[in-house]
Amino acid sequence: MEKLIKNELLGEEYYEIDHASGLKIFVMEKPDYSGAFAIFGTKYGSVDTCFRIKGEESYTEVPEGIAHFLEHKLFESEELDAFERFAKTGASANAFTSFDRTCYLFQCADNFNENLEILLDFVKAPYFTEETVLKEQGIIGQEIKMYQDDPDWQVLFNLLRGLYHNNPVRIDIAGTVESIAQINADLLYSCYRTFYNNSNMALAVAGNVKKDDIVAIADKVLKKEAPVYYEQIIPEESKNAVTAYTEENMGVDMPKFAIGYKCTPAANDTERDNLVTNLALDVLLGKVSPLYCRLLDEGLINSSFGKEYFNGRGFSCLLISGESNNPEKVRDEIAAEIKRLQSKGISDEDFEISLKRMYGKDVFFFNDTDSLANNLVDCYFAGYGLFDTLDLYKTITRAEVEKVIIEKFKEEGCCLSVIK
């Protein structure tokens, strides 16, 4: 079954296909583009360390870092690994594991159909042995040590450990050298069978492609799979941060900082909640906000400054990061502006500026095949459509944004992480 989803205002459209294999497929044809981008993802990430398949009595607990480990192992086969296969066709391929998903992707200017067949084939053909697992433990162990020397990585995870008492989001995505030493082929196959079922995955393609070709390749490569139903344990979490401040010394030219405001995750996270929260962040610290301009003029921040609403299954927080010779002053200035907005509210002008700025950014990403394909998968996993956000802009109110600033920026849930 397939349906064509259109946005008349943008003149954009994409196909949503329920493939016979059980896989959800999204295709946005852009015949005027020279290349194409494809991403094949599963709702499985580093926080998924305890799960139970429907019908089983007990939960399975797996070592931290196993989702990332599994991502590495899927590129291997008894013959050529996937990177070697892609190299022969001229595609640029990659993969990533985040807190709540794992994705495999490629982009190319030619041989798209052949590359898509490679992508679907290697992701759906696991090959693990105890010998290859042992070898990979050494490789990923070195990767873990490399990230331990990365100040940008450490300032983030020091913050997450300063915010979260129990949630596995506080654990490095790759795990630890000790945790990955517990991984074996049987555990990898168990996780693969649970989370790499077609019903838990999605394929999105954007660019100079034809929908019928993509369906034909899926017909050729993918086998029909009965859905696997599972449940996960999300640890209980205090509203308060573990600590208000954490610090580490590393080799940096200027201190790095990350400020987090811990939020209570919504029972059913919605696109409206995401949009309103991001609007609140933009009103507070967008690049045309009064506070951002003042911090920049006073030399308290530089162009590395950034912000995001960071949320997933069982975790939700507001992240603010950058470089500063006085991170504590930055935190205090932000806290003072939050209190001012909580007391006096947001001006109509500031609200309209942020609303138009973010709408423009959302429209602009439709020119980029990478962003389109990634967002098609992200939206599907989150439970809404690609065009839904654009429609929401017409109905968001200033009062909703002010409510977020009051409810989500809590002093007791704040932590400052600094790398000096």
Please give the residue that has the higher pLDDT: either 21 or 1: 21
Q: What pLDDT band is residue 100 in, cutting at 50, 70 and 90?
A: very high
Catalytic residue, from 71, 76, 136, 402: name it. Answer: 71
Strand order in the sheet with 50-53: 60-61, 50-53, 230-232
Q: 3-state SS of the chain: helix, strand, coil percent to 5?
A: 45, 20, 35
Mean pLDDT of 34-51: 95
Tell me, yes or no, if 337 is annotated catalytic.
Answer: no
Whether 30 and 45 have beta carbons less than 8 Å apart is answered as no
**Is there a contact between 100 and 313 (Cβ–Cβ < 8 Å)?**
yes
Contact yes or no for 240/391 (Cβ under 8 A)? no
Q: Percentage of the chain surpassing pLDDT 70?
A: 99
Beta carbons of 43 and 377 less than 8 angstroms apart: no
Task: Give mean pLDDT, residues 34-46.
Answer: 96
Burial level of 251, CB count in 10 A (0-12/13-18/19+)? Answer: exposed
3-state secondary structure of 339: helix
Instruction: Write down the domain spans for the chain.
Output: 2-232, 245-419
Residue 6 contacts by C-beta under 8 Å, 6 or more apart in sequence? 12, 13
Residues 6+ away with beta carbon under 8 Å from 265: 311, 314, 315, 316
Q: Identify the CATH homologous superfamily for domain 2-232.
A: Metalloenzyme, LuxS/M16 peptidase-like (3.30.830.10)
CA distance 308 to 139: 31
Q: Is the predicted pLDDT of residue 269 greater than 70, yes or no?
A: no
Q: What is the mean pLDDT of residues 59-69?
A: 95
Q: Quick one: pLDDT at residue 290?
A: 94
Residue type, 254: M
User: To the nearest whole number, what is the mean pLDDT of the chain?
Assistant: 94
Q: What would the pLDDT profile of 305-351 be if each residue is shown by its tens digit?
A: 999 999 988 899 999 999 999 999 999 999 999 999 999 999 999 99
**Helical (H) or strand (E) element with 29:** strand 24-29
Residue 23, CB-side half-sphere exposure with 13 Å CA sphere: 28
State how far the Cα of 283 lies from the Cα of 353, in Å rounded to an integer.
8
* Residue 267: predicted pLDDT: 64
β-bridge pairing 102-108 and 36-42 = antiparallel
- Segment 161-211, tens digit of pLDDT: 999 999 999 999 999 999 999 999 999 999 999 999 999 999 999 999 999
pLDDT for the residue numbered 57: 87
Above 80 in pLDDT, residue 80? no
pLDDT band at 391 (very low <50, low <70, confident <90, very high): confident
> Which is nearest to 40 in space by CA: 365, 376, 352, 315?
376
Q: Helix, strand, or coil here: 201?
A: strand
* Nearest-angstrom CA–CA distance, 158 and 53: 33
Cβ atoms within 10 A of the Cβ of 398, count? 18
Closest CA to 283 of 401, 195, 413, 180: 401
**pLDDT tens, 128-142?**
999 999 999 999 999
With cut-offs at 50, 70 and 90, classify the pLDDT of residue 270.
Answer: confident
Residue 132 burial class via C-beta count within 10 angstroms: exposed 0-12, middle 13-18, buried 19 and up: middle
3-state secondary structure (DSSP) of residue 279: helix
Q: What is the mean pLDDT of residues 286-297?
A: 96
- Residue 378 C-beta-side C-alpha neighbours within 13 Å: 17
Core vs surface per residue 336-363: b (16+ CB within 10 A) or e: ebbeebeeebbeeebbebbbebbbeebe
pLDDT digits (tens, 9 = 90+) for 212-265: 999 999 999 999 999 999 998 888 899 999 999 999 999 999 999 999 999 988
| C-alpha 5 chain-centroid distance | 24
The domain at 245-419 falls in which architecture? Answer: 2-Layer Sandwich (3.30)
Residue 74 near residue 122 (C-beta atoms within 8 A): yes
Q: Which amino acid is at 378?
A: D
pLDDT at 365: 85
Q: Which helix (H) or strand (E) holds 103?
A: strand 102-108
Partner residues linked to 104 by β-bridges: 40, 95
Domains 2-232 and 245-419 are alike in CATH topology: yes
Per-residue confidence band for 125, with pLDDT thresholds at 50, 70 and 90:
very high
- What is the pLDDT at residue 265? 81
pLDDT given at position 334? 98
User: What pTM, to 2 d.p., does this model score?
Assistant: 0.94
